[in-house]
Structure 1
Amino acid sequence: MRVIKPNWVVHPDDKGIPQTIYSAHVHPDGSRLATGSIQNLVKIWSTAPILDPDIEAADEEKHPRLLCTMEGHDGAVLCVRWTFSGAFLATGSDDSIIMIWLRCPGQSKSFGSKTANIEDWKCFKRLAGHTSDVQGLAWSEDDQYLASVGLDNLVLIWDCLDSSFVLLKRLDLHQGHVNGVVWDPVGQYLATQSDDRTVKIWRTTDWKLEADIKEPFINSPHSFFRRLSWSPDGSHIVTPNAMNGPVFVSAVIDRQKWTSEISLVGHENVVEVAAYNPLLFTTDPSPHATKPANPAAVIALGARNSISIWHTYSTSPIVVLHDVFDRDILDLSWAADGITLYACSSEGRVAAFVIDELTLLAKVAPPEVKAKRQASYNFQKADRRSSSTPFAPRYQSPMPAIGPYCPARPSPSPADSVANPKPSDALTTQQEMTIMPNGKRRIKPAFLGTNESAMYLNPLPNGHASTSQNPTDDSPHNYSNAHLPQPTQFPQQDTSNTTIPTRHAIPEHVTQGIASSSSLSRQLSDILHWDEVGRWGEPIALPHRLFNKVQYNQTEYQISCENTQGDMDVESSQVILSSVIANQESELWKKRFTARSITAASLSTSHLAIGLSDKSLLVYSLAGRRVMPVALMDSPCFKLQFRDTMLMSISLKGTVMVWDVAKLKAVCGPSKLKHLSDSKAAISYTALTPQGAVIVKVGKGSLYGFERDLESWTVLSGPTADEQQEKERLDLRELAFPVGSPFLIDSAAVLAANKAELMACFLEHIASLRDHRRFQAVDELCHELWTGSGWISDRISDSEASATPHTLKLSKLERMDLLHQVIQVLDQHQDFEGMCQEYAVLLRHGHN
């Protein structure tokens, strides 16, 4: 066996660092390998330099390595899958779009690229049907259907007959994110695996549910992938992420009973990927055998950084590969020769395994053996082909995977193609040119249509294809991404007066009069500063572990976030939500993030927010359902804070946003913090009101609140002079009403507290003004209470109780009650006797 790990099959960033490759799939003729990455790109590579060291060492102009780079997706490419004929390539992305790629004659150049593509692959169709990430794709063996699954819990069936690619059926019985999909090679069924811990079998005749398999997955953990595979003879399905007691296994589901009596045991971690070899194998019959032995199949399993190869003639794996990659294995794909296996990893590398020993263990079964096994199920597929359609020949019986599947014709070299490109009819179309009044020419582009030759794939120039004497068909493999299960709705709870304890104290200043947020951010003054251009001058220091909890009725919810390392290179993290009832802790759900680290998190009694290093912000319900579309910030979040259903986010570049996650509505922002202080200052305090108003204290300076009506930051109070006092927890009353200050009531009280807290603060401020004999200030405040003018006004409706730092909306009865309490406070000082008598008379008579 040979293990080949080329260092040039990568998707590097601007600094040359390899980025995560989520999916890899080898072409049916074995000559090309397609890869999809986190960079929104799809690349097609020649496999000849990978498998042959002599070709790899040769001149790259004669033996090109990278054949094409395709752009078009707006998100990470999570799945790439060739058709069985090899004419089309389907790609799925977290932008919820599926793209169908077709090779056109000639060469092309990607936008921003300095080198031309050897092959020109264009987007033939753009399929929009999912509302969230597309996690898995699978072609039926006759290429008439394409199945797609995603995080919207849906299974979509696309009709590919005559290259129409129209949506045929929408299957919505899964109760969680659908992470895996595979077609029955017989054509009778479709299998899907979901985060709801089920595998569902669908009939292709009426798209109804045939079986719902739950038992092997009852106690299965959540994993990033659930990539299942169907054996080439159609007899079994191997499903990842199954459990046999406390042991991680891969369950083998029998086609006849839809039960699992066999488990593949051996991996120490969750099995995430399964891929059947497209060939069947046979052994010489024993002289005493009464009937020939059943053909054997070979299956590859991937779990974290290990791969095992299983043969049905053996009860243990025939090959186990450890530490080929440093990080998780994300996809497996067998070449049609049956001895070459490709794998990709989150470390951004691809490996090829040439396992010649497979042909020594057993002989390759002739094609008629597989055909006979499939015919034994007595299923007749409906003939949906039309001989009148221009692309009908493509839907004839699956063509041999080895050798060209297009009409034989000479293949020009790359130099000839560039120097003497063959013009097509579309290229000779006359273009329209118009002379504009300013003298410039405006050319109306002619439509460059594709001709029939574009439907066929030429052999690579000086290419290399896998060699096998047996016509075989590639087994479809799927990409999946485990997210969170479908929720049960949790009741909303007002947590404005709830203090949330933490196992590790949050080292940030939190106002005692305001409910503590459940933010898991670190002490910001020790982590982040911004420079003169608004970028934080120091990199974020990622914590190894974050923890918080919140109490709701008799249940305590706990969140634990963990990164495997403590720097920005972390590409593995997880978050666990648990509940504690009567001191009994149980895990509700777990979510792993590959190629991303957790930078901040926050927990409320109804929602959970997570900020990731790729600038994304995820919001889940406590049941694990993503309740808000993925928000992309201008930089990673370092501060998240909940107040009821309001969520505040502060990014690494100092951008503030507030959302009402219950209403899916932006309440505040985006607004910048960089101009609030000099380059050396740091945020020392933040607060969020139930209405979504933001309060920020920068260093030892002023307290600021964001005024939405003015769309600017306003000063709420001056800087704190006492350095020792600055190190202690800030007091709301001191921030809102500086004791002994000659100033009037500060608008910070309106922003920073709820109504009950504000009234208590107001009375303390009145007492301070009374002690300092501020007669005019007291008279103005009493007058505003009585008339409802100034910063106090009548509340017309709850909808108008907005978060503004300049107006507090109180009903007339509330104003009169507060004024009565003010008189009682002032009556304790004889100098205010006359003022008390005046307003007491007004209250008794109830008129201005």
Structure 2
Amino acid sequence: MWIVKPEWIFHGDTRKLPILSIDIEPAGARFITGSMDHTIIIWKLSAINDEQEEEVQLSILTQHCGPVNCVRWSPSSQYFASGSDDGIVIIWEQVEAGLSDNLEEWRCILSLRGHSSDVKELSWNNSGTLLASGSVDNTVILWNIVSKQLAPARILNGHESYISGLAFDPMDRYLATVGEDKQLIIWSTNDWKQIKKISQNFNHASSQPLKRFSYTPDGLNLILPGPKKSAYKYTASVLKSDEYEIEKYLVGHLQAISVAAASKVLYKSDKNPVWIVALGGYDSAVSFWKNGDNEPVVIKDIFACSVADISWSNDGNMILACSSDGTVAAIGLDGELGTPLSQQEMNQYMFSLYGSRPPVPIGGPHSHSHHKRIEPQPLNEQKEERVQGGKRRIQPVLLSTPQSTGGGFPQSPQQLPQISSLQLPQASLISSPNFPQPQLRNPIIMTSPNAPPVPDFKDLQNFSIPFFASFSKVINKGTSKSYTDGICDMKMLEISQLISADADMVVECMEVKTHPQFKSIIRFREGNKTLWQRYLPHTANVLTGSDVFIAAITAEGFLYCFATGSGRQIMPELCIGAVDFFESNGAFLIVILKDGKVQCWNIKNQSIHLESNIKSIAGPIVKAVLKENGEVLIENQAGEGYIYDLELHAWARVKDPTFIQKPDERMSGWNPGSIEEVLNVDLQTFHDFSLTTMEMQLLRLKKLGYTEEYAYNLVRYAQMLADGKDMLRLWDICMELKRANQNLLASIMPILNANQLQFKGINC
């Protein structure tokens, strides 16, 4: 047996913050930690035993707004889940590469919002199709990960206090939950009904926020922390899984046991295979208990304070344990406690017990197990200079589009280099060798190795460019600023996004200084072959476009639009003035002028789509998005989000800044005030506050088109109305649904029936 405490595993910049959860990837390449500092870090597992290993930290993720209480890999290693004090469960998946500082790119693919308070515990079923989450709101929620459903698949209500532990049995027949109400509930996964509810003193005398437990790998026993037997003896209980009666106690820890983690495999013995469980306690000790042995193996004083979590490797030869002291310990068994069964032997033994093999995990880890981030590739030497304040001014480099199928580039411009100007090698545009070469500026580049052939002239009538996804946007200093992902501090030329395309297509804007009539050229080319080029009498410095059109804004305030396929000018020069924001998507083009005027055109139909002004929205605009259907969303500096309602011709608020949870400040969606203010209101006022917030949220979800979230919250709203005996509003919403959506009406009918409510003319 060996013990290692790597100094390179820690959270926090200046001090080691508590590590609340740890989990080893089933595939065996990585492990993850979640901490009090709101971050998740992915580490290289092989570095535990290799002191020469470099680049041990693969990725650091910071999307949570509260302490990360639990991190758990899916059985297939394709995803991992995290739960936090912000009440959100996030599902993460690896993408191929990116421009962040992380060695591996992991993206949030699902942000699951259903709990009203802290998420304390997570557990995957063994097939990886369902994720269970337990919360301080006393509920357990089941999430369907395969269908990527955002609304809860099932909500289990049975505990009277917060959930402190969750575990699926190895055959996915049962889900066991433990709450601070001293109740153990066994749920059937067939119909999610309670099949057993046991009231026993699992609670220790000390304050204990978590009691992590697990089934043994054969499913015959359940190992739980507690109860306390005497002043100096703390135990874990071994329950038989047939009747869930206590079979024996594991006695020895001097303080409360916080986690009981059984190995994922069984071990060979003279008779039936046996299990091994690792216990961690508040006495900073870790103990190993082998079924059938009388004495445990105990490692004392391994940490400075309590053990927070324990994770086993899939081969059963190593555990990782984390502590509230901010450190991690690795313990290798090297067969000293027994020889693990092979996977084939495990399957045969489980078949002998249950007549079937354990569920097979769905999915699998991506083949790109470890990639460095994609770096911009310069075509010429990058130059730097220091400006006032110590900031760097960097001469630009060209970025090529990655050959990625895993999500492309990240959206944040802070991850991209700041660029002040661009010089490219001279290239001839006209065959005459004496023609002066133009200076290229503001390129938009999209590349791919599989470019289709340039069509012959006879095929131009059928020519289209379906291989264009969209163009990236280039912003020039002093002309406009990017709202798409935030504003660059120095407001210099910035390439905010590059999107993968299926062709090596380039759109360039070039300055002409040798002709008195023309000042710039727009050129569209495939590789080195020019498809079309157009001369402009003004100085173009901002480009955007899509498969429908390419648009340019000039320094003089003119807008030019050209057909992407042919280069034909499809709109007259529009004098629009100084532009603050410029974006395209599909057939739509939007500009936000410096005076606050907003105009969006349908270039394909040659018509105005919307015309408004953002002066009515308080505060500076820091984010704007143009969707492919022409919807416009903006966000101001205060965190308020708006969408333009084409029917009402007004900006509808769809995001409230109070819903943003800051790391150091917990906010309530309906009341951002102090706790004292909440406690001093009567129940009716509290009910009215909650209903007001729910009604606003329903309207926002409906406006944003979030159908699943809208349906889920509509049922919650109807239940609140029924609980409060608010018959007038309940009848009103039923009448509206009768006219608009019979399916949604059917979803709240069980609430009416359960409360014995009948409205005339309402039936489904």
Give the corresponding residue for 1:555: none
| Correspondence list, 1:137-176, <5 A | 137-164=122-149, 166-176=151-161
| Correspondence list, 1:445-460, <5 A | none
Partners of 1:136 and 1:412 lie apart in 2 by: 28
Equivalent position SS for 2:52: helix
Structure 1: stretches of 5+ with no match in the other structure: 110-115, 286-292, 383-395, 452-613, 619-626, 634-645, 648-657, 668-848
Partners of 1:215 and 1:666 lie apart in 2 by: 38
| Correspondence list, 1:107-186, <5 A | 107-109=98-100, 116-164=101-149, 166-186=151-171
Matched residue type, 1:17: R
Equivalent position SS for 1:279: coil
Of 78, 89, 99, the match for 1:87: 78
Following superposition, the deviation at residue 49 of structure 1 comes to 1.9
Of 401, 410, 414, the match for 2:372: 414
| Alpha-carbon contact 2:475-2:481 (below 8 Å) kept | yes
| Alpha-carbon contact 1:434-1:443 (below 8 Å) kept | no
- Cα 1:352–1:142, aligned 2, differ >3 Å: closer, same or farther? same
| Alpha-carbon contact 1:154-1:172 (below 8 Å) kept | yes
Equivalent position SS for 2:83: strand
Partners of 1:187 and 1:381 lie apart in 2 by: 11
Partners of 1:381 and 1:630 lie apart in 2 by: 51
Name the larger-Rg structure. Answer: 1
Of 227, 238, 245, the match for 2:223: 238
Of 292, 302, 326, the match for 1:313: 292
Q: Deviations over 1:135-171 (max 9, x none)?
A: 0001111001000001000011111224445411111
Partners of 2:477 and 2:22 lie apart in 1 by: 53
Partners of 1:324 and 1:630 lie apart in 2 by: 44
Partners of 1:118 and 1:331 lie apart in 2 by: 26
Structure 2: stretches of 5+ with no match in the other structure: 378-399, 410-445, 447-468, 485-495, 503-662, 687-764
Give the corresponding residue for 2:339: 363
Following superposition, the deviation at residue 72 of structure 1 comes to 0.8
Q: Deviations over 1:260-313 (max 9, x none)?
A: 021100111111101011111112x4xxxxxxx111111000011011011113
- Cα 1:308–1:129, aligned 2, differ >3 Å: closer, same or farther? same
- Cα 1:264–1:160, aligned 2, differ >3 Å: closer, same or farther? same
Following superposition, the deviation at residue 368 of structure 1 comes to 3.8
Following superposition, the deviation at residue 367 of structure 1 comes to 2.5
Matched residue type, 1:414: K
Q: Deviations over 1:411-434 (max 9, x none)?
A: 786388776984237665332659
Following superposition, the deviation at residue 371 of structure 1 comes to 2.5
- Cα 1:104–1:373, aligned 2, differ >3 Å: closer, same or farther? same
Of 73, 76, 79, the match for 2:67: 76
Following superposition, the deviation at residue 662 of structure 1 comes to 5.0
| Alpha-carbon contact 2:129-2:362 (below 8 Å) kept | no
Equivalent position SS for 1:371: helix
Following superposition, the deviation at residue 101 of structure 1 comes to 0.8
Q: Deviations over 1:669-713 (max 9, x none)?
A: xxxxxxxxxxxxxxxxxxxxxxxxxxxxxxxxxxxxxxxxxxxxx
- Cα 1:371–1:273, aligned 2, differ >3 Å: closer, same or farther? same
| Alpha-carbon contact 2:180-2:203 (below 8 Å) kept | no
Partners of 1:418 and 1:83 lie apart in 2 by: 33
- Cα 1:36–1:361, aligned 2, differ >3 Å: closer, same or farther? closer
Residue 186 of structure 2 corresponds to residue 201 of structure 1: yes
| Alpha-carbon contact 1:216-1:260 (below 8 Å) kept | no
Partners of 2:279 and 2:204 lie apart in 1 by: 20
- Cα 1:442–1:80, aligned 2, differ >3 Å: closer, same or farther? closer
Following superposition, the deviation at residue 245 of structure 1 comes to 5.7
Give the corresponding residue for 2:34: 36
Equivalent position SS for 2:265: strand
Aligned pairs, number:
431
Matched residue type, 1:430: S
| Alpha-carbon contact 1:106-1:421 (below 8 Å) kept | no
- Cα 1:330–1:435, aligned 2, differ >3 Å: closer, same or farther? closer
Residue 226 of structure 2 corresponds to residue 263 of structure 1: no
Equivalent position SS for 1:282: coil
| Alpha-carbon contact 1:24-1:333 (below 8 Å) kept | yes
Following superposition, the deviation at residue 84 of structure 1 comes to 0.7
Following superposition, the deviation at residue 12 of structure 1 comes to 1.7
Give the corresponding residue for 2:692: none
- Cα 1:6–1:189, aligned 2, differ >3 Å: closer, same or farther? same
Matched residue type, 2:176: A
Equivalent position SS for 2:10: coil
| Alpha-carbon contact 2:127-2:362 (below 8 Å) kept | no
Give the corresponding residue for 1:327: 305
| Alpha-carbon contact 2:99-2:374 (below 8 Å) kept | no
| Alpha-carbon contact 2:25-2:31 (below 8 Å) kept | yes
Give the corresponding residue for 2:742: none
Following superposition, the deviation at residue 203 of structure 1 comes to 0.3
Give the corresponding residue for 1:440: 480
Residue 416 of structure 2 corresponds to residue 430 of structure 1: no
Partners of 1:173 and 1:448 lie apart in 2 by: 48
Equivalent position SS for 1:414: coil
Of 82, 92, 112, the match for 1:101: 92
Following superposition, the deviation at residue 178 of structure 1 comes to 0.6
Following superposition, the deviation at residue 375 of structure 1 comes to 3.5
User: TM-score normalized by structure 2?
Assistant: 0.51
Following superposition, the deviation at residue 95 of structure 1 comes to 0.5
Matched residue type, 2:255: N
Give the corresponding residue for 2:21: 23
User: TM-score normalized by structure 1?
Assistant: 0.47
Following superposition, the deviation at residue 355 of structure 1 comes to 1.6
| Correspondence list, 1:535-554, <5 A | none
- Cα 1:417–1:26, aligned 2, differ >3 Å: closer, same or farther? farther
Partners of 1:101 and 1:226 lie apart in 2 by: 25
| Alpha-carbon contact 2:96-2:371 (below 8 Å) kept | no
| Correspondence list, 1:662-673, <5 A | 663=682
| Alpha-carbon contact 1:279-1:364 (below 8 Å) kept | yes
Equivalent position SS for 1:167: coil
- Cα 1:343–1:186, aligned 2, differ >3 Å: closer, same or farther? same
Equivalent position SS for 1:122: strand
Following superposition, the deviation at residue 181 of structure 1 comes to 0.3
| Alpha-carbon contact 1:221-1:241 (below 8 Å) kept | no
Give the corresponding residue for 1:374: 350
CA-atom RMSD in angstroms: 3.7
| Alpha-carbon contact 1:242-1:249 (below 8 Å) kept | yes
| Alpha-carbon contact 1:432-1:443 (below 8 Å) kept | no
- Cα 1:628–1:166, aligned 2, differ >3 Å: closer, same or farther? closer
Matched residue type, 1:43: I
Matched residue type, 1:224: P
| Correspondence list, 1:379-778, <5 A | 397-398=360-361, 405-406=365-366, 414=372, 422-424=402-404, 428=446, 429-431=469-471, 439-440=479-480, 647=676, 660-661=679-680, 663=682
- Cα 1:417–1:139, aligned 2, differ >3 Å: closer, same or farther? farther
Partners of 1:212 and 1:107 lie apart in 2 by: 49
Equivalent position SS for 1:370: helix
| Alpha-carbon contact 2:97-2:372 (below 8 Å) kept | no
Following superposition, the deviation at residue 449 of structure 1 comes to 9.1
| Correspondence list, 1:291-310, <5 A | 293-304=271-282, 305-310=284-289
Identity of aligned residues (%): 28
Point out which structure has higher relative CO (alpha carbons under 8 A, 6+ apart).
1
Partners of 1:33 and 1:78 lie apart in 2 by: 15
Following superposition, the deviation at residue 81 of structure 1 comes to 0.5
